A and B are shown apart, each in its own frame.
Chain A
């Protein structure tokens, strides 16, 4: 018998509550026990896994990389020290390569937030003879 149920029965024995009230309290206790916690969150992921399987050349090849999430965070923090001049040059090179991303607008807090939500992300790309699978574990 658990502690809360015992307390209810003691209150009933002492005459503090009547039988109907005791029954309602016990029913409420059982409901609470059966219902799962609404904001139950999975454990924080430790690694980002990238698995690439390719059979396009006839010979099967596979790449399996496991990157610690802490390494991503450390990389983001180190990247905040990159001087603005270097970011401008990188932007120019990206633009020349046809990639329209402005790195100066990418704030470290935004990347941190992205890393925080990586556990909810799974990427599956499947083609005829190759697959890409990215997930957190």
Chain B
């Protein structure tokens, strides 16, 4: 299942800042750029003699596997938390 939301929480000196990024609307907005990037990737695959379909499939799989990723870094009173749900 595709990841839906990336949550970034930054706490600096006790002041929290939290942002939720809904991935599907972001992907829709960025779709023209993504199409261009896919074309560039396909050309690069052909130049490097890599099956572009396999490359796309595995990249998509990597993207979908991001769901559940959790990164938390605390240093003193500062915290950075990134979660993918």
Contacts and interface: CB of A to CB of B under 8 A. Distances in A.
By secondary structure, the B interface counts as mixed
B72 interface: yes
A74 B68 contact: no
A87 interface: no
The dominant DSSP class at the A interface is mixed
Interface in B64-79: 64-76
B76 A61 contact: yes
Contact of B69 (A60, A67, A78): A67
B59 interface: yes
A71 B60 CA distance: 11
Given A64-B70, A74-B64, A81-B51, 9 more contacts: A61-B75, A62-B72, A62-B73, A64-B74, A68-B69, A70-B68, A74-B65, A77-B61, A78-B61
Interface of B: 48-51, 54-55, 58-59, 61-62, 64-76
